[in-house]
Structures are given as structure tokens and as C-alpha cells.
A and B are shown apart, each in its own frame.
Chain A
């Protein structure tokens, strides 16, 4: 079982609210990732980080932002939630690039009304 945690697991929120999805890992991994996954669809990379103070946008355009102030913590923030943000958000980490496995958290299911 991977030591990577996400909170909350489920979130229902109204349009226009600011939300932060938390992701923490205790494995000391340098690389962390945020993916968005809709039902029956593939995962899309929205943000990633090589290490502290490093953040990059992924393949899928996203209105969210991330920060990496500590190695173990990689929160994702939506300043103003919209119904189009309804999805599952998965956080992952890996010790380095290449063939190293990515370890995924349990995910946060977000519903924006």
C-alpha cells in the first residue's frame, strides 16, 4: 500500500467557491503529479512537480493552480469552482522519472453544483 493520501475523498460544493484538494506522501518522493479522470475516460495530467518550488502545467488545460513548498505536500487549488470542474482528481508521486512506478492516492471526487 502506497503512503500517499488525499483529502477530502468526496466534496460537493457550489459554483464560485474556492477549494483546495490536499495531497501528501510520506515516501520522500521528489516528483508529484495531479491527474483528472472522468468516468470511463483516461487520466489526464494537469500539473506536475520535480521537487520543492518546482511546478509545471500538464497536458490538459486546467484553471487550477498548485504549489510545492514542502517535499511531501502538493495541494491543488481552484479559485472559483464551476460545474465543468466536476471530476475525479488523482494525486501521484514517484521517486524519479523513467521506469519508476507512480504511486497513486485514493482520489478526490468533486461535484460542483
Chain B
């Protein structure tokens, strides 16, 4: 069973609007949580990384939050642009191995319409 669940599976919004993507995880122990943006036909690109002690981190119009107690994270996109159309992937790392194993969500497919 996938230990990282993302919702919604897909989302369509109009340009200029805000949106929030959700990520729930059951990975334990927990090391850090990352949000990646993956454009169609490209590899994922890191947006934010948060460790246990961080509960919010921003990268331009992207703001990620983390509640390690409830094991939930969200990615808020402000004033969406057409270029925001992509898949947004939540990735959780455990601290149980030297590799820092990564658990990937299936992503939320965001489409921004003009």
C-alpha cells in the first residue's frame, strides 16, 4: 500500500486563481517531506523540502505546510499561471536507512486554463 496519498488526483483552475494540494502520509520514522513539480515529459524538479521541525516553507508563489503530528502536508499555489500546469508530487523520506528511502505519491495533475 502506498504510504503517501495525494488529493485531489486532478484539478482544473482558471489562471490567476489560488489552489491547495493535499498530501497525507503514513511513513515512519519521518525525516523530511518534499514537493516536486513534474512537467509533462520531463523529470521532477524540487520545489520545497521540509524537515520535522519546519511547518511552512515558501518558494515564490508556492507555499508548503507540514503538520508532522497529523502527518499532513499541503502545497498552496498563489495567483496561478499557465506554466503551473504540471503534476505535483509529494515525496516523504524516512530516516530508517542510510539511503534515506523516498516514498512517492502519485501526484496531483494541475491544469491551469486561461
User: Does chain A bind chain B?
Assistant: yes
Q: Which of A12-20, A71-79, A93-101 contacts B (4 or more CB under 8 A)?
A: A93-101
Give the CA-CA distance A5 to B100 in the complex, in Å.
23
| Shortest beta-carbon distance from B86 to chain A in Å | 13
Chain B residues with CB below 8 A from A109, complex form: 41
Chain A-chain B contacts (Cβ-Cβ < 8 Å), number: 52
- B47-77 interface mask toward A, CB cutoff 8 Å, 1 = contact, 0 = none? 0010100000000000000000000000000
User: Given that A42-B107, A48-B99 are known contacts, is A101 also in contact with B34, CB under 8 Å in the complex?
Assistant: yes
Chain B residues with CB below 8 A from A98, complex form: 31, 100
Chain B, residue nearest A90 (CB): B43
| Prevailing SS type, chain A contact patch | loop
| Shortest beta-carbon distance from A25 to chain B in Å | 12
Say if the beta carbon of A92 comes within 8 Å of chain B. Answer: yes
| Shortest beta-carbon distance from A47 to chain B in Å | 12
Taking beta carbons and an 8 Å cutoff, which residues of B are in contact with A? 2, 4, 9, 31-32, 34, 41-46, 49, 51, 89, 93, 98-100, 102, 104-107, 109
Further 18 A-B residue pairs, CB within 8 A, beyond A40-B106, A41-B106, A107-B41: A2-B45, A40-B9, A42-B89, A42-B104, A42-B106, A43-B44, A43-B89, A45-B102, A90-B43, A91-B43, A99-B31, A99-B49, A101-B46, A101-B49, A102-B102, A104-B45, A106-B41, A106-B42
Return the 4 tightest CB-CB contacts between A and B, nearest first. A104-B43, A42-B104, A97-B100, A43-B104
Taking beta carbons and an 8 Å cutoff, which residues of A are in contact with B? 2, 4, 40-45, 48, 90-92, 97-99, 101-107, 109
